[in-house]
Structure 1
Amino acid sequence: MIRHWRSRLPLSLQFGAIALLYVAAAAALAALLSKWMGEPWLVVLITAAVLAPLLVYHVQRAFAPMNSLFRALAGSVASYRDGDYSFGLSWQGRDELAELVASHNRLGEALREQRLALVQRELLLETMVQNTPVAMVLIDPGRHVVHANLAARKLLGEGRRLEGHTFEDLLAGAHDAVREAFQRGGDGMFTVGDEDEEDIYHLSRRQFRLNGRHHELVLLRVLTAELRRQEVQTWKKVIRVISHELNNSLAPIASLAHSGSELLRRGQYDKLPTALATIEDRARHLEGFIRDYARFAKLPAPRRTPIEWSRFVAQLRTQVEFTFDGKGSDGIARVDVAQLEQSLINLLKNAHESGSPPHEVALVLRRTPDAWRIDVLDRGTGMNEAVLANALLPFYSTKRNGTGLGLALAREIAEAHGGRIALLNRDGGGLCVTLVLPD
């Protein structure tokens, strides 16, 4: 706190009053000395010698409160720079310095509030990071652990603090599956434990700059419970689909078998061939249904062999009808011929079953810089948003007798080749199914 009676006056009035006072004093002293001395220069010299020390004294007295205030301001700014916002300044006057002190105090209050908000936010973030089930490890450029939350300590350090340790030393003591996941590089999934007690993890690694230096953030997320729930839901769906298909085939088979026995008992042999043909048809449908499921479940890894597109397309046209403009057929692809053929047969049959005119079902082949693009086009009814979102999922079908495996199998084959599949409604009606297969 700085107090001085002059600070009650504005600075301009203070210095104006001092100046007027000394001008008047100098005039009076000069008039007095002029009566006794005739030399003007001697009068000026004596007047200056008498009043100058007094003027210096009063100026210093006038500047003393301001000097104290400026020192206090410099000290408070240094404290702010060091993160200390616990004090303010007081000035009793109503002059220009009072406005400066008030502005400085408002700045300090704003900084205190911001600092408090930052502290609360840091505490919240620290609590969230420490208690999240995702293991988080921050690694500096020297491969030392900068930060690790509780989940990371439990997974990699048996509960102890990991900060300061090299990440490679931690991996050396970790489970074999963890080390293998990091050796593969990039993101991925791995399993820790045996068949009875196993945990499934997803590994994610991100690079970024912190304080101008490269750092790596490692995230290890446990997916066991989530995948188990999805697995149960998938099995329930599979069981419902299989149960529905078995009932649709076995019920009429049982009924026709009973009817056949009645026809034999009555001697009505002329009607037996019809009943037996229907039983055979339903049995073959059920056989094909089970075979499709087995093919989807046991899809082997693709065996890539080179093949000319012209030969492949000609072979495909012997099994299903479609139009082809011939573009791109002079190239050679390395694919699993049997798998790609099965995938395209399913897609082309879907196109014919969409309500499209047969001549509007087309196959388009195009070369991209690093892949082959195959489009299967039709002019059927297309798909609404809900069907587009689920069409590639296994066992999802809008057909009454569909298995929901055609598009899912095509997706499985494309991804096994390192490619992808996409569905898009066409302008003017119809659907475009695109397969992208990298070289």
Structure 2
Amino acid sequence: MSLRNKLVLSNLVCTLVSLLLAYGLWQWLGDESVWVAVVVSLGLCFLISMYLTRQLGESLQALEVGLLNFKDNEFSVSLPEYAEPQLNELAGLYNQASAKLRKERQFIYQRELMLDKVIQNSPNIMLLVDDNQRIIYANDAARHLFNQGIRIEGMLLSELIAVLPSALKQALESEHEGLFSIDANGEGLSDDSAGEIETWHISRGQFNQNNQRHHLILLKQLTKELNRQEVAVWKKVIRIISHELNNSVAPIASMVNSGRVLTKDFDNERLALIFDTIENRTAHLSQFISHYAQFAKLPLPKKAPVNWDNLIEQLAQQYRFSLTSALPQQTIALDCVQLEQVLINLLKNAQESGADKDGVTVAFLEVSHPLVGVVITIEDNGLGMSSEVLSQALLPFYSTKQSGTGIGLPLCHEIVEAHGGHITMQNRKEKGLSVKLWLPNE
């Protein structure tokens, strides 16, 4: 019999007993005591109902306590077994849910521990701040960079970055994402530290949690030595591939010429089309190989004083741009051919970024402190770069263009590094990309 039928039957029994009792008392005490009989019979009915439903009341109360524990993320309470099958089944479902929630909480806790362990041991710097720039979370690398390993949660970001190198401070204060350079000893760029420049990448993100906005800041150091080793491996691979392809392309081109000579007396359009196709494709492949070979076999700079007027005139003949500053007055020795190649690549990228024809600018700035040299800035008002593209823009073979080779920016980076300088890139606040080259005056 179901619990519902049992409750209905118990109500009928209580009602019948109370009516019989009331009738008996009425017959015994007479008409004057009819209200006494009714009160006594109702009280007895209430006591019988309380007795018959005590197990149901206890079960519902236990279930209520258990659900309140669920609300408080407490899943350790279990319900006992009951003699009533339906109550016992309900208790079993509750216990199963409790066990599953305990297991899932333990799984989530283990994953959180693992994630926290990975984040805390990551060399990348991670900061989580609120809208008031108060730090909510920081990993171990962030604590060592900002506060000598001491806990920084709850502090304001402005307090921590006050004593940082200017480049790092500026990157954290601005909303930009991209690459920037600082001195390797962390004390700002100085004249005697030109060979110890470290390149960093900063990226940002936002998300809402508990109806509050959180800002995620990630700083990644692009270790110079590892970058050199990686580029050296790429160059070796390119040289091997170029060598093997040239070994195949050269005989093919020679055989095409021989085939033309042998079949010159045949007036066959299809044969001529075959030779033309083979010749065009081999020429395209040779040109394709030469682009990569240029990166793999980059010669050392042959430095000579730069004639800035001639350089700007030659650049203006190839790409349209606006010069927004005076040309440098100091004499700087650079490889003019390589420098022109760098500027051509950067102007080409700016023109292909979706910028207006008059939206590309070139500016020069002579600096004497903390580094001596010239800073060349190329800016556009195009689409800019995403954080992912900025972090990988200097890697060989990485390109977002359908027909791109992924060599242009790595070649620029190699040339600038060979001159002892560095290159930084970041999205402009208003629109577009800003690329800065620092070249030393040696």
The two structures have a TM-score, normalised by structure 2, of 0.51
Distance 2:4 2:403 in 1: 76
Distance 1:93 1:392 in 2: 75
Instruction: Specify the SS of the correspondent of 1:79.
Output: helix
Contact 1:208–1:215 (CA under 8 A) maintained in structure 2: yes
**In the TM superposition, what whole-angstrom CA distance separates every residue of 1:357-414 from its partner, at most 9, and x where no partner exists?**
xxxxxxxx99x783489xxxxxxxxxxx9xx877452699xxxxxxxx99x99xxxxx
In structure 1, give the amino acid aligned to 2:212: R
Partner of residue 189, structure 1: 180
1:29-428 → structure 2 map (5 Å cutoff): 30=23, 47-182=37-172, 185-193=176-184, 194-195=193-194, 198-224=197-223, 225-233=225-233, 303=312, 333-334=320-321, 370-371=356-357, 391-393=405-407
Instruction: Specify the SS of the correspondent of 2:53.
Output: helix
- The 3 A distance-change label for structure 1 pair 120 and 295 is closer
In structure 2, give the amino acid aligned to 1:13: K
Instruction: Specify the SS of the correspondent of 1:88.
Output: coil
* 1:51 to partner: Cα distance: 2.0
* 1:26 to partner: Cα distance: 3.2
Distance 1:203 1:235 in 2: 27
* 23-32 or 99-108, larger mean C-alpha shift: 23-32
* 1:89 to partner: Cα distance: 0.9
Instruction: Specify the SS of the correspondent of 2:177.
Output: coil
Distance 1:437 1:218 in 2: 20
Distance 1:200 1:190 in 2: 4
Distance 1:154 1:147 in 2: 14
In structure 1, give the amino acid aligned to 2:9: G
Distance 1:81 1:16 in 2: 36
Distance 1:156 1:171 in 2: 7
- The 3 A distance-change label for structure 1 pair 87 and 297 is farther
RMSD: 5.2
**In the TM superposition, what whole-angstrom CA distance separates every residue of 1:83-138 from its partner, at most 9, and x where no partner exists?**
11111112412343333322222222222122111111111111111111111111
| Higher RCO (C-alpha under 8 Å, 6+ residues apart) | 2
- The 3 A distance-change label for structure 1 pair 47 and 19 is farther
- The 3 A distance-change label for structure 1 pair 30 and 166 is closer
In structure 2, give the amino acid aligned to 1:334: F
Partner of residue 19, structure 1: 12
* 1:22 to partner: Cα distance: 4.6
Contact 2:18–2:44 (CA under 8 A) maintained in structure 1: no
Aligned residues between the structures: 290
Contact 1:178–1:192 (CA under 8 A) maintained in structure 2: no
The two structures have a TM-score, normalised by structure 1, of 0.52
Distance 1:146 1:140 in 2: 7
**In the TM superposition, what whole-angstrom CA distance separates every residue of 1:197-220 from its partner, at most 9, and x where no partner exists?**
554322222233333333221111
Instruction: Specify the SS of the correspondent of 2:73.
Output: coil
**Identity over aligned pairs, percent:** 21
Distance 1:76 1:17 in 2: 28
Contact 2:205–2:216 (CA under 8 A) maintained in structure 1: yes
* 1:156 to partner: Cα distance: 1.7
Distance 2:234 2:92 in 1: 68
Distance 1:74 1:90 in 2: 14
Distance 1:190 1:233 in 2: 24
Partner of residue 260, structure 2: none
* 1:294 to partner: Cα distance: 7.5
**In the TM superposition, what whole-angstrom CA distance separates every residue of 1:42-65 from its partner, at most 9, and x where no partner exists?**
797565344222101111222333
Distance 1:240 1:106 in 2: 63
Instruction: Specify the SS of the correspondent of 2:321.
Output: strand
* 1:226 to partner: Cα distance: 2.9
* 1:168 to partner: Cα distance: 1.3
In structure 2, give the amino acid aligned to 1:149: N
Instruction: Specify the SS of the correspondent of 1:83.
Output: coil
Contact 2:124–2:221 (CA under 8 A) maintained in structure 1: yes
* 1:236 to partner: Cα distance: 6.1
Instruction: Specify the SS of the correspondent of 1:191.
Output: strand
Instruction: Specify the SS of the correspondent of 1:228.
Output: helix
Contact 1:153–1:161 (CA under 8 A) maintained in structure 2: yes
Contact 2:26–2:34 (CA under 8 A) maintained in structure 1: no
List alignment gaps of at least 5 residues for structure 2: 185-192, 244-293, 324-335, 346-350, 360-398, 416-422, 426-431, 435-442
Instruction: Specify the SS of the correspondent of 2:57.
Output: helix
Distance 2:62 2:105 in 1: 22
Rg: which structure is higher?
Answer: 1
List alignment gaps of at least 5 residues for structure 1: 1-7, 244-288, 317-331, 348-364, 374-384, 397-404, 410-415, 419-435
* 1:11 to partner: Cα distance: 4.8
